[in-house]
Structure 1
Amino acid sequence: MPRRYKKAENARHLQGVELLKSYGSFLPKVTSSASWVPTAVNRSYSVSSPLYGGTSTDAYKTRTESSTVDVSLTASLNLFNGLSDYAALQSALDRKKASGFSLQRAKEAVAYDVTQSYYQVLLDRELLGIAQENLKSASDLLTLTERQFNIGLKSITDLYQQQADTSNGKLEVIRAENRLRRSKLELLRRLRIDPETEITLEPVDTATLAALSPEIDLNALKATALARRADLEAEALQSNAARWDVRNTAGTRLPKLDLAFSVSTDAIDSYSMMLQGMNYDYPYPSLGKQLENGTDYALSLNLSWTIFDGFQSRYAVQSAKIAQLNKQLDYEDLKDDIQIDLQQVAEEYRAAFDQIASARTSLKAAESAFAGIQRKYELGASGFVELSASRAALFNARSSVTQALYNLALQKALLDFTAGATSIE
């Protein structure tokens, strides 16, 4: 699976977790605590009151030792916090939707990227076939030249030149094979599959290409793109989420009201005190009985309002507003870029048809010229230089037609991708 798509999928999953967190803000917060102090020693001085026979100068050294258990459970529910939780939830909902559109656009980008590499492999395969045909033609002509040389119709110079031309044809085949090998590996890289995998590619449907028309309604295409581009919809949702973030941050300026309920209990396992050399042990009921009968309950309504926080809230609100403005600018920039890109791609798409027509005209002329010059060369009425130039022109013309056809297919894929109409089925 391409990593770009996987990253977008991970981002969508994270937004889902963030949305769940926003929903959780409306639920009570429950906390619990428990502690056990096996031994606690306290040393101090105490003064006995004159009411009980003591004097103001009497001070006694005391030492207490105890073992305690404490258990508590607290539940709190926010009733009002300036609607920050509501704004945070709306922001999370928008970002969750935006992540879905971002994932959709990532799929389209992967599909276009793979399509581009796929067309390159097909093109290189076609060019390899043309190079092999050119080599076969040169080899056949070399065989003929050798026979004509043997019977004295061709000079040794013509033979050497034809041998060099055949060698150049072999070199061109080797280059075409290397290009095809590289483009196949690049396609495997895009697909993120084992490089040793053998892939079988279907050729381009020439009937589909023949049915394409250079005439397109640019204004309608722009309107379609603005309505269908997933990344533009994602940017709009991100901008709206940033607007909710401003309201979320501004909510900290308002009072906060919480409803809290707590239940707690404690027990003393042992308690002893040493006073004036005498040790006093205080017996307590069992831990279970103390924990059961010593349970405390509390229901509270807590109101808090930060009057002044050193302009921290003001800074946070302004930062959120700037972030929202930047998101809106990103949306407007993307909207303009889409229209400019469509205009450029549409012009290149139209030009692709002119390139095909020009390349086919050149091919027809090159085929006729090569056929005539080859016939004259076989009869000895034409030189090798003229034949070699004619063959090179024919080879280039065939390559140009093939490249023009695949360029049209690629421009159609790019036009669909830019308009948000790429098929990912």
Structure 2
Amino acid sequence: MQPNRFFIVFLLIGTACIQAFSQSTILNAYVEEGVHTNLALKQQTISLEKNIAALQEAKALFLPTLDLDARYSRAAGGRLIEFPIGDILNPVYSTLNQLTESNQFPTLNNEAIPFLRPQEHETRLRFVQPILQPGILYNQQIRHTQVDIQSNAVAVYRRQLEADIRSSYYTYLKTIRVIDLYKKVQQLQQENITFNEKLFNNDKITYDVIYASKADLSETELKLAEAEKNRKVAAAYFNFLLNKSLDTEIQADTVFAFKDVVLPGEEELISLSLQNREELKQLSSGIVASEQNVKLNRSRALPTLNLVLDYGFQGTRYSFTSNDDFVQGSLLLNWRIFGGLQNRSRITQATLDKQRLQTQQSELQNQIKLQVTTAAENAKVARQSIQTTTERLESARKYFSIVNKKYREGAALYIEYLSALTTLTNAGISKIVAEYDYQIKLIELNRIAAR
């Protein structure tokens, strides 16, 4: 193998890492797919739909209700209503018979009327329209606020999911690049073993050098196996996020690797995050809901008024004629004067909930400021790491080129060659890791700053 071939191999390793490319359309497609297929996000969306249905239920409480009630009963025994009609009328009737000298007016017995009818039915339509129901109004407001809370919960998880998909995709690409590098190193070491065997056959070196080079090849193969394991794990997690089979093949976009950006100032990032983070919106809605809950509990001390209209039929047998029907209208007022101080306790609990959420909101604001500061500094360090590893890779490549040439001319020991190769390999890996880690840090910063 010619010395310039060694140089070209690692020249490709270096130059492949320093290009700048635009956003990956493949990755964007995967993100859109994940948003539609991720099971955890579907659960959040279902919870949102449930809250919307609960809001519709709360609105329906303003509408009237119409019920059909039917009752048929049979009874025996029970209390009797005694009506002494005989005692009242018999003396009168007796006097009239004497005056008229006739038996025109009969003798009557006292009556005992059962309180329960032997059989009875009542069939009616009942129309109820709430007129004054403060609790219904506040309940609707609370349900509407809960929809806002869950909507922001969906947005929080979606933002996190998109960031996880992008980060895991970059991690997968990083493992591919590392595997490719180790394969090139493996090929280089195999060719070096062949070269050393030729030197041994020409009595230029002893066989211990060949043993050493084979041992180095075995170590690289072990590292390659470890890198392949990392690739499978990264692919499995990526497919998990997309709700796919863990061994589904991933389309690797190896065209792009590094995209440099100009980051806004830290104060601007903090302002963006405090303005746009859905977690803060959730807490703000929670505070509103607690205020509405206080009003709801206070409204329990107010009277309620309903309009009730009944139309139906009743009697001792089933008959639906004009002689059996009835109509009744009522205004039902209910006002709880004393409820055992239960409502006061509910108001206190709702007020404390509001205070707790306000404290939590202040704490979250401070946490977000800390998160933005930390993520921004991590991105800056990652960006600097790219520049550092680029310079290191360039130096390692030149150093290896020189040592490789000297080794083939017999002017350098194998241990010097191995040291140069190891330095170049580590520099190439560090460059790959730095590039993709920078992208991952940018993704995390964008998520935290809600950009």
Instruction: Return the alpha-carbon distance in structure 1 between the equivalents of residues 116 and 44 of structure 2.
Output: 63
Pick one of 346, 350, 356 that aligns with 1:316: 346
Q: Is the 8 A contact 2:239 2:247 kept in 1?
A: no
Distance 1:185 1:376 in 2: 45
Q: Which residue of 2 aligns with 1:160?
A: 211
1:41 partner letter: A
Q: Give, in angstroms, the shift of residue 216 of structure 1.
A: 2.7
SS in 2 for 1:199: coil
Q: Is the 8 A contact 2:236 2:247 kept in 1?
A: no
Pairwise CA distance, 1:409 = 0.7
* 1:75 maps to which of 127, 138, 161: 127
Q: Say yes or no: does 1:113 pair with 2:134.
A: no
Residue of structure 1 in register with 2:269 after alignment: 221
2:290 counterpart of 1:242? yes
Aligned pairs for 1:8-407 (under 5 A) are 8-37=44-73, 39-42=74-77, 49=84, 50-51=87-88, 66-81=118-133, 83-203=134-254, 205-206=256-257, 209-210=259-260, 212-213=261-262, 215-269=263-317, 287-289=319-321, 292-407=322-437
In structure 2, C-alpha distance between the alignment counterparts of 1:52 and 1:196, rounded to whole Å: 102
1:238 Cα deviation from its structure 2 partner? 2.1
Aligned residues: 396
Query: Which of 61-70 and 389-398 deviates more?
Result: 61-70
- For residues 39 and 331 of structure 2, what CA distance do their matches in structure 1 show? 51
Helix, strand or coil: the match of 2:312?
strand
On the 8 A contact 1:72/1:265 being kept in 2, the answer is yes
Q: Secondary structure at the match of 1:287?
A: coil
Percent of aligned pairs sharing the same letter: 19
CA RMSD of aligned residues (A): 2.5
1:92 aligned partner, one-letter code:
R
- The letter of the residue matching 2:273 is A
Per the alignment, in what secondary structure is the counterpart of residue 123 of structure 2?
strand
Displacement of 1:197: 2.6
Contact 2:237 2:246 in 1 (8 A): no
Task: In structure 1, give the amino acid aligned to 2:126.
Answer: T
2:43 is the counterpart of 1:7: yes
Please state how far the C-alpha of 1:319 moved relative to its aligned partner. 1.1
Q: CA deviation at 1:72?
A: 2.0
Structure 2 counterpart of 1:195, which letter?
Answer: L
TM-score, length-scaled by structure 2: 0.81
TM-score, normalised on structure 1? 0.86
Deviation per CA, 1:357-397: give whole Å up to 9, x if none: 11112212211222222222222332222222222111111
* C-alpha deviation, 1:9, in angstroms: 0.5
Shift of 1:46: 7.2
- Tell me, which stretches of 5 or more residues in structure 2 are unaligned? 1-36, 92-109
Alignment-mate amino acid for residue 7 of structure 1: Q
> Alpha-carbon deviation of 1:399?
0.4
Instruction: Give the one of 406, 409, 413 matched to 2:443.
Output: 413
SS in 2 for 1:42: coil
**Cα deviation 1:297-344 (Å, max 9, x = unaligned):** 222222222121111000111111112222222322222222211111
Does the aligned pair in 2 maintain the 1:74–1:262 contact within 8 Å? yes
* Native 8 Å contact 1:349 1:415 kept in 2: yes
Deviation string, structure 1 residues 261-301 (Cα, Å, up to 9, x no partner):
222321323xxxxxxxxxxxxxxxx7233xx4222222222
User: Is the CA contact 2:272–2:449 (under 8 Å) kept in the aligned structure 1?
Assistant: yes
Supply the AA of the counterpart residue of 1:40. Answer: A
Output one character per residue of 1:181-240: Cα deviation in whole Å (capped at 9) or x when no partner.
Answer: 11111111111112343221213634x614x23x53111121122222223222212221
Q: Which runs of 5+ in 1 are unaligned?
A: 270-285
Measured in 2, the distance between the counterparts of 1:53 and 1:158 equals 142
